[in-house]
Structure formats: C-alpha cells, structure tokens
A and B are shown apart, each in its own frame.
Chain A
Amino acid sequence: MAERAELEAVIGLEIHVQLSTRTKMFCGCELSFGDEPNVHTCPVCLAHPGVLPVPNEAAIRYALKIAAALECEVAPSSTFHRKNYFYPDNAKAYQISQYDEPLAVDGRLGGIRIHRAHLEEDAAKTIHLGGSGRIHGSGASLVDFNRGGTPLVEIVTEPDLRSAGEAGAWARLLRTTVRQLGVSDVNMEEGSLRVDANVSVRPVGSEELGTKTELKNMNSFRFLERGVEAELARQRELIEAGGLVVQETLHFHPEDGSLHPLRSKEEAHDYRYFPEPDLVPLAPTEAMLREARESLPELPEARMKRYESELGLSAEHAAQLAADPEEAAYFEAVCQGAPGAEAQVVANWVTGELAAALRQAEADGERDKVEPAALAALIGLVGEKKISHGSGKQVLSVLIAEGGEPAAIVEREGLAQISDSGELESIVAEAVEANPEAAEQIRAGNGKAIGAIVGAVMKQTKGRADGGEVTRLIQEQLGV
C-alpha cells in the first residue's frame, strides 16, 4: 500500500451575532423574542413603497465594541451594500449588508485570526408547514417579520481551526467574550448566536486549501462539534477513496446528526451586490472609536492569561474560571478573602467542591448562596488544619442550606479537627485491632489495604481526623 499523507482539518467559522439593541437596525421597531408574530413591524421593515432605512446608532456602537474586543482594524469609512435575492423572509428582496468595504478587518481572538466583521440586518423568520420543514414540499409558508431587521454583526475567521473540538472551544470563547461586552444575548438555541462552519481537509504540510463545504443549522456548540466532526470524517473517507469534495452547503439535522446538501436551487444566487444608495458611508468618529476601546472590560482571553501567569492556575482551571465574568469575579473575591490560600486551592474549591455541593443541593450555578467571604474563611480553616477536608465539605453543605459563619458551624457541629494526638492514637489503635485482616495485609506490604482502617477511623471521628495524620499513625503502629 502506497504511503498516504495524513489529512489535516482546515476550519473557518462564520458567526452571526444578533445585537441586543432596543430597536431594529434600520427602523424603530423593538426587538423581541417569542412575541406574537408580526407585532414588531412597521412600513420600513415590511418594505412598504417609499420607505428608507435609517441606521441604528446603538448598533454601530455595539459593532465597534465587538471590533475592539476582536482587536480589529476599523475602516475609517465603510459602505453598506445591497445583497439582492428573492425569498419570503426578505421583504425588500435585498438585505442591507456590507460587502467589499466592511466595518472591521484583521483581528484576532484566542490565537485565531479574524478576517472581517461587518454590520447587517437579519431576515424574517419563515416557518414551512408540512413536508420536511423546508420550503420545498411544504404546503404553506408563514413569515414572522418580528425578527426581520434585527441588527447582526457577522464575524468571519480565517481558516485557522484544526479540529472540531478546537472549533467548538473557540466558538465558546467568542460567545463568552461577546457576552461580557453586553451587546448580545449570544444564545445559540434562540438564534442570537449562529455559527456556520467552512470545512475542508488537506495533506499535512500543504499550504493550499482543499475544497470546502459550508455547514449550517448547528444550533448548539455540541451540534457544531458533531457536525464538523462528521463532515471531516466524510471528507477524509471520500478523499482516501480517491474521490473529490464538491463545494456545497450542507444542512445539519440535529435529530440524527446527519448532513444533507441544500437543493442547488436554494443556493444558486447571484446576489448582484451594489452600494446601498439610501445610506451614506459609515464613518465612525474618533470619539466613537475611543469610547468602544475604553469601554472594554477585561475579556476572558486576557483574564485566562492572567490567571495562568500571575495566579499560577492550571490552564484548565484558568480557562474554566475566566470564561464567565461572574464566576471569575466570585473566584477573585474568594481569593481576596483568603490571602493565605494559594489561588490554585481556591480554584479547586470553586470549581470542585462548591460546584459539586451546589449540584447535590440542586442549586446548580447559584454560587451566591455561599458568600465569597464565607468560602474564603472555610478554605482558611481547612488550610490551617483546623478542620479536615471532609469536614470542610460538610460545612459547605450547611452554608448552602442555611448560610452562616464557617467557624460557628464548625463549633456547633463539633467538626473541629481532633488535635489531641493521644486521643487520635487510641482511636487508631482500636481501629487496627478491629480490622486484623487489613492489618495483616498492610504488614505483608499491601499498601492499599490501609484504606479500610483509615475509613474506620474517619467513621469513628465523623471525619474530624486529618487523613494524612491517620495514615502516619497506622503505619507507625504497624511498624511499616
């Protein structure tokens, strides 16, 4: 068998972010989700004769924030274009978008290059009754223009992603970044964040791009990863069997994870782009650009780097804590309250014990039930060996259920660690005596058998003993 070059994945993403402005991109209708169909409409967004678009200044400011967060270059003057196509979701029969002079270019996020970011308007929502849920074969189509004209920022990456997992992780980073800007709900299920993927493969080491396919309709990160994974597998198999990839758009079916080409009729478009004569060029003032830059909060990527380099967190913990600004703020508040504790220990508690205890209390995500100061005090008690790690978890459960002061809970529940070594020694001696088989095995060199005796001590002390100390005493008493 001839040696075959390994094929690497080449993935670029096209992301649509619905901006959470009060009103639509080019008219005064309010944005909404889930309202009665067609209540948020006016002559402008229904494309009545004679109407003209007026750009939403807030949308421009939001887009400039996104451009700043993605470290893009903002064009001194960009133009809107008309993208012409007939479809019922598009009342004007053209979408106002940006074409060869976009708002922003050449950015980066999380090591991935951003090709461009531009402003446009969303289409209306169509519902095709009967058949496949697509327009072909459906008995009737309903159009809800509430969504029509919602401001969108389209972000296009360079094809820098190399696996489905990387694509998913990067899309999550983009979501947390945009969410923190406060310019979008970035909710994939509700469609305020939509991620399409351009997928191709090529021999490792090749600089040329292979023929790509475009994947649409992946309305969760999991579906994004599954869709890209499935398409990569299909392309690899095809090429390895001597076939060629055909450039096409594939529609992801969430029910079974399959990908199906859209009918060519639906995508054979010549959009006849030309500059939108109803709008003047978009030329942000220096003040607008400065405001966008200066309003940027610390973004997840920068925070992650800080957690790793300044706080010494593991990459995994840094990524997990930095992603969500609220969780990050909580983590940092706990760190501040526990100056004696290492940040990594605090991270372990926040992402480990606290998350687990909340889950157990069916209070997932409600970390505010435990005041940062209380958790800091608890971590301090464990660190100073005033209570055992196991007792610490018990205190945490009480904190979630009732609140209060960790020290008072320790006192009330009698959880203070047994500090009298004589008392602990006699409890250990009793446990060794009660477990002769385990003791024999330990003497014979089976280190694992120690667990049974440690467990017995912990049961007797209700977890108030320090595990390390118990182990040391058992080994001492058995002479190993």
Chain B
Amino acid sequence: MAELLELSVAEAARQIAAGELSREEYFEAWRGAAAGDQLNAYLWRAEDGTAAGDGPLGGIPVAVKDLFCTEGVQTTAGSRILEGHRPLYTATAVRKLGEAGAGILGKTNMDEFAMGSSNENSAYGPVLNPHDRERVPGGSSGGSAAVVAGGLAPCAIGTDTGGSIRQPASLCGIVGLKPTYGAISRYGMIAFASSLDQCGPLTRDVTDAALLLDAMQGNDPCDSTSVGIAGGVEAPTRTDLEGLRFAVPAELAHDAIEPGVRAVFEQTLKRIEQLGGEIAEVPLPHAEHGISAYYVLAPAEASSNLARYDGVRYGARAEGGDDVVEMYEETRAAGFGDEVKRRIMLGTYALSSGYYDAYYGRAQQVRTKIAEDFAAAFDRFDFVVTPTSPSVAFGLGEKTDDPLAMYMNDFFTVPMSLAGIPAISIPAGTAEPEGGGPQLPVGFQIAAPAFAEQRLLDAAYALEQAIDG
C-alpha cells in the first residue's frame, strides 16, 4: 500500500493505462490516506467513486482547492459566507482534469477567498504544515500544498494571485507552478483579483506538474481572457542547462531573506552553473514596488468581485435587518473574515472618486513598469530566478497581528503575477528556521517569458534531477 502511494502521478497513470494497476485499488488507497488527514487540509473528501475516465490522467485522484466550483459539491472558498454553497456547474480546469481521466479526491482548505499567505485566514481553521504542525503551510493554497506534502493526495490544484501556489509549495517542500495568465481558464474559479488569478498544479515533481498543466491548459469559450499554450506541454526530459542564461535580480539584497534560505538559493545557483547554465545579475528596478502595487490592485478588484456576496441569491444570509441594505451589511459583517474585510476596504478606498489616479492608476503604471523590466531581462536571459519565499515556514500565529509582515511573504512571487508570466517553485533544499528547530523546506523560483512553460518545465526538471541526485 505504501508503495502505491509513492508512485508519481505519471508512473501511476502509466501503470493504470497498461493494466498493471487497478484504478479502483489506487483511488481507494488515496481515499484511505486522505481519511487520515490530521492537518485540517481537507474541507470535503469524496466518500465513493473513482477516476473512471481514460486519458493521460486516467485513474488519478486530484485534490482541488475549494476555490474551484464543483457541481453539487460544497464550494466555500474558505469563507463562512459560502458555507453550504453547492455550485450548479463545474470549473473548466476541474472539468478538463476529469476529461483527462482524473477524479476529485477532495476539496482543500485555503485562506478565505485566497487572501492570505499562511492559511490562517480560513473560516474553517488553519491548515498545519506536515513538516512541523506548529507551523503554517503557506497560503492561500495551503491545503493543496499540505495534502501533497503530507501524503494525503498524489497531486493537487490551486490558484495563484500573488504567490498562492508557489509560496505554499515552497513552505511544504513540493513543486508549485503558476502558469502564464491566460494559460488555463478561470471559469468556475471563484474570483479574488481577476487580472492576476491563475490556476496551476501542486505536485511532488516537475513531471507531474507538466502532466496536470497539459490537461488543464487551453482556450475556453467561457473565459474571454484564456488563450491556452500553443501545442500544450510535454513531459520534460532535459538533464542539463547548457546554453541557458539565468538572471538574478540585482535588487535581491533584500535584508528580510533568512540566512538559511539565502544559503540554499546560492547553493542552487552553483548547481545551475554545474549543469552548464550561466548566471548573471539583471536589474529589475521596479520589482521592489511590486508588493505596494499588488496591494492596491488586488484589493481593488476584490472589492468589486466580492460585492456579489450579499445573502440574496446563494450562500449564508444574516437574519434580521429592517431593509435590504441592513441585510447586506449584516450578512457581509457576519460572513467575511477580518482579512477579507480589510482588503475590501482597501480596495474600495483605492477606487474611490478622487483617489483612483493616486492609487489604482499609479499601481497600474507600476505594473506596466514591472512587466517592462521582465521583458528587458528576457531580451538577454532565458529565466529570472529568486528564492520563492524570504523564509521557511513560520509559526502559527507568528504574523497574524502584522499584516504587512505577512504581505512580505509574497515579495518574490508578486512581480511575476503582475507581469502575467509563468513561474515555478521547486524544492531546493532545507534550512533551519530562524530561532532554531528542525530543518524545513526551501523553494527555488524560476520565472520565464509568457507562454514559455515548456522551457520553464525543462529547466526545472533538469535542476530537480540534480538536486534529488
């Protein structure tokens, strides 16, 4: 049984397709593993059924972040306000996984409406890091990262708006890929910040990430902003980095990087050179303003996206209230958590008449500048690399009282989101947390030009083989 659970998704799918492995047995094994969740990682688990379809993911159970609508299955976005909400339809990304033969193993816990970097903002309690249950798994796709890292699912999908796949992947020691904006349909993915949200896989290795990405990517008539990746992606096979140029942002002398994380990062740069890659510094002068711009743009869009949760048509409704406005107010006061309220207020303010130009307009300009910085870097380099997160997993409750410290978790991941380019986090080693304790995973982020996912996966695979070897 344990051996079964150790198969990669690619290998399990191959064995199932070849008739060497029973899909029922495989799914049942994972159902059993998921049933042992002690991390508060699942919000719902499939009690029966299997992955019946044929295809590249035939027979593979997938854990799905509870931000994706699943027809008839509770979809809460980690929020009280959607408690008990059963969508009438299934998100395109999940439907496509099904068409590739996969089945839903469960719905995973997450920061409410994907707002958070620690999974402590879930209305259903925090998810625990499988490497140290006193620590956070990262967020907002913390549940998806924890189930994969904790042996509760063979693979998962999540969403990334400013780092919500990459950062928890880093903190949990797995692979997390945020594809190019537009690679995968957003239809049925409950919106946080529409111009940034992107679906992606969280897996144990790069090959599995490629497999899930290929199944989910594509233009969707239900999402006007989706384009797909021309030709899809194939399983990576490259084992060297000869002739590839990796840029390290010159501004990386960020004093908030933990020494252990910095050491792993530098060690990984050496591995790149050993594999034949070139390393050089590149200026990304506007990247340091990424967090500021992001925390204007994302809340602005969120303030509008979350305005529909009014208790009228679905979800929770607060009783009482003399008129419709009071009903809205009471429903939203009771239904949303503190961080969501904070961001709705920030965003409403940023869009208000008289402030729009100073906040939203200015943040859009910064966003354009950051995209231009990346474009200039990609004129000379194939990739930009950074640590994924400035720190290893931190303690539960450590940063909950300091939103700005929490926001700094996304320092390295937000610029790629703003630029709409793909980026992957792969496990690069471990480090001792500040203040001591057992070693914890450290992620290494590689970013590539828009729609260069194949090149990104190839390089990540080569590096992964070297690190694992």
What is A's interface to B at a CB cutoff of 8 Å? 43, 46-55, 82, 84, 86, 88, 91-94, 135, 141, 270, 272-274, 277-280
Bound Cα distance A475, B68 (Å): 97
Q: Is B256 an interface residue (CB 8 A)?
A: no
Is the CB–CB distance between A54 and B190 below 8 Å? no
Per the bound structure, the CA–CA distance linking A298 and B169 in Å amounts to 64
A-B contact pairs, 16 of them (CB 8 A): A49-B87, A49-B308, A50-B188, A50-B191, A51-B187, A53-B224, A54-B224, A86-B307, A86-B310, A91-B313, A270-B353, A272-B348, A274-B360, A278-B191, A280-B224, A280-B225
In the complex, which residues of chain B have a beta carbon less than 8 angstroms from the beta carbon of A52?
186-187, 222-225
Whether A48 touches B88, Cβ cut-off 8 Å, given contacts A86-B325, A277-B195, is: yes
Assess whether B314 is interfacial by the CB under 8 Å rule. yes
Q: Out of A50, A93, A280, name the residue touching B69 (CB < 8 Å).
A: A50
The bracket for how many chain B residues form the interface is 35 or more
Interface centre among B186, B224, B300, B309 (most CB of A within 10 A): B224
Complex Cα–Cα for A48 and B87 (A): 8
Closest-CB distance, A342 to chain B (whole angstroms): 58
Residues of B within 8 A of A55 (CB): 224
Are B224 and A278 closer than 8 Å at their CB atoms?
yes
Contact present for B313 and A46 (CB under 8 Å)? yes
- The chain B residues found within 8 Å of chain A, CB to CB, are 68-69, 75, 77, 82, 85, 87-89, 91, 186-191, 193-195, 221-225, 300-301, 303-304, 307-310, 312-314, 324-325, 328, 348, 351-353, 356, 360
Counting chain B CB atoms within 10 Å of each CB, the highest count among A49, A55, A270 belongs to A49
A-B pairs with the 5 shortest C-beta distances?
A93-B307, A277-B195, A272-B351, A277-B194, A50-B188
Chain B residues with CB under 8 Å of A50's CB are 68-69, 75, 87, 91, 187-191
Residue numbers in B under 8 Å from A280 (CB-CB)? 224-225
- Please tell me if the beta carbons of B225 and A272 are within 8 angstroms of each other in the complex: no
When distances are taken between beta carbons in the complex, the residues of chain B under 8 Å from A135 are: 324
Contact between B222 and A49 (Cβ–Cβ < 8 Å)?
A: no
Closest A residue to B67 using CB positions: A50
Shortest Cβ distance from A93 into B: residue? B307
Docked-complex contact B187 and A49, CB < 8 angstroms: no
From known contacts A50-B189, A86-B307, A277-B301, infer whether A272 and B353 are also in contact, taking CB-CB under 8 Å: yes
- Tell me the complex Cα distance, A135–B304, Å: 24
- Assess A278 versus B225: contact at CB under 8 Å? Given A43-B89, A88-B324, A92-B308: yes
Q: In the complex, which of the residues B69, B221, B352 has the most CB atoms of chain A within 10 Å of its own CB atom?
A: B69
Q: By the criterion CB–CB under 8 Å, are B75 and A272 in contact?
A: no
Q: Is B307 a contact partner of A279 (Cβ separation < 8 A)?
A: no
- Which of B188, B194, B300, B309 contacts A278, CB < 8 Å? B194
A47/B313 contact (C-beta < 8 A), A272-B352, A278-B194 known: yes
Contact at B351–A274, with CB atoms within 8 Å?
Answer: yes
How many Å lie between the Cα of A88 and that of B224 in the bound state?
Answer: 27
Determine the distance from Cα of A82 to Cα of B88 in the docked complex, in whole angstroms. 25
CB distance from A149 to the nearest CB of B (A): 14
Determine the distance from Cα of A221 to Cα of B356 in the docked complex, in whole angstroms. 39
Whether A93 and B88, one on each chain, are in contact in the complex, defined by CB atoms closer than 8 angstroms, is no
Tell me, rounded to whole Å, the shortest Cβ–Cβ distance linking A115 to chain B.
21
Tell which of A135, A141, A270, A274 has the most Cβ of chain B within 10 Å: A274
Bound complex: CA of A47 vs CA of B309, how far in Å? 9
Shortest Cβ distance from residue B349 to the other chain A in the assembled complex, whole angstroms: 10
What is the number of contacts between chain A and chain B, taking CB atoms within 8 Å? 102
Question: Nearest chain-A residue to B314 (Cβ)?
Answer: A48
Report the nearest A residue to B220, measured CB to CB: A52
Tell me, in angstroms, the Cα distance from A241 to B190 when the chains sit together: 58
- Complex-state Cα separation, A51 to B194, whole angstroms: 11
Given A91-B312, A94-B307, A279-B224, 12 additional A-B pairs, CB 8 A = A48-B313, A49-B85, A50-B87, A50-B187, A50-B191, A52-B225, A93-B307, A272-B304, A274-B301, A278-B191, A278-B223, A279-B225
CB-CB nearest in chain A for B89: A43
Query: For residue B81, which residue of chain A has the nearest CB?
Result: A49
Complex: how many Å from CA A91 to CA B187?
A: 18
List B contacts of A82 (CB < 8 A). 304
CB distance from A348 to the nearest CB of B (A): 56
B312 with A88: CB separation less than 8 A: yes
Distance to closest chain B CB from A124 (angstroms): 11
> Given contacts A50-B189, A52-B223, A92-B307, is CB(A43)–CB(B88) below 8 Å?
yes
B79 vs chain A, min Cβ distance (A): 10
Kindly report which residue of chain B lies nearest to residue A53, judged by CB atoms: B224
Q: A84, B69: Cβ atoms under 8 Å?
A: no
The answer for the CA separation of A278 and B223 in the assembled complex, in Å, is 8
- Contact A270/B352 with A43-B89, A47-B313 known, Cβ cut-off 8 Å: yes
B88 and A274 contact, CB distance less than 8 A: no
Distance, CA A274 to CA B352, complexed state (A): 10
A208 to B418, CA, bound (A): 45
Closest-by-CB residue of A relative to B68 is A50
The closest CB in chain A to the CB of B186 belongs to: A52
The answer for the CA separation of A51 and B68 in the assembled complex, in Å, is 11
Q: Given A49-B85, A280-B225, are A91 and B308 also a contact pair (CB < 8 Å)? A: yes
Residue of B87, B191, B194, B304 ringed by the most chain A CB atoms within 10 A: B304
Q: Give every chain A residue within 8 A of B308 (Cβ-Cβ).
A: 47, 49, 91-93
Residues B194 and A54 in contact, CB atoms below 8 Å apart: no
Chain A: which residue is nearest B85 at the CB level?
A: A49
Q: Closest Cβ of chain A: how far from B164's Cβ, in Å? A: 16
Would A54 and B360 count as touching, CB distance under 8 A? Answer: no
> Which of chain B's residues has its CB closest to A26's CB?
B224
> Distance in Å from the Cβ of B151 to the closest Cβ of chain A?
29
For residue B222, which residues in chain A have a CB less than 8 angstroms away from its CB?
Answer: 52, 54
Residue in A53, A55, A82, A277 with the greatest tally of chain B CB atoms within 10 Å: A277
Distance A448 CA – B186 CA, assembled complex (angstroms): 86
Cβ of B150 to closest chain A Cβ, rounded Å = 27
Q: Smallest distance from the beta carbon of A224 to chain B beta carbons, Å?
A: 30
Residues on the B chain within 8 Å of A88, using CB = 312, 324
User: What is the bound-complex CA distance between A49 and B300, given in angstroms?
Assistant: 18
Residues of B within 8 A of A54 (CB): 221-224
Chain B proximity of A146: nearest CB distance (Å):
15
A57 to B208, CA, bound (A): 39
Note all chain B residues with C-beta closer than 8 A to A94: 304, 307
* Contact (Cβ within 8 A) B188 A93: no
- In the complex, what residues of B have CB within 8 A of residue A92's CB? 307-308
Please determine whether A274 and B300 come into contact, CB atoms closer than 8 angstroms.
yes
Rounded to whole angstroms, the CA-CA distance of A190 and B89 in the bound complex is 33
Query: Across the interface, which residues of A come within 8 angstroms of B91, CB to CB?
Result: 50
Measured between alpha carbons, how far is A175 from B434 in the docked complex, in Å?
73
Q: Which residues of A contact B186 (CB under 8 A)?
A: 52
Measured CA separation A372–B194 after assembly (Å) = 60
The residue in chain A whose Cβ has the minimal distance to the Cβ of B113 is A49
Evaluate contact between A49 and B307: CB separation under 8 angstroms.
no
Chain A neighbourhood of B87, CB < 8 A: 43, 48-50
Residues of B within 8 A of A53 (CB): 224
* Chain A residue nearest to B312 in the complex (CB): A88
Residues of A within 8 A of B195 (CB): 277
* Min CB–CB distance A68 → chain B (angstroms): 24
Asked if residues B69 and A49 are in contact (CB atoms below 8 Å), the reply is yes
How many Å lie between the Cα of A53 and that of B82 in the bound state?
21
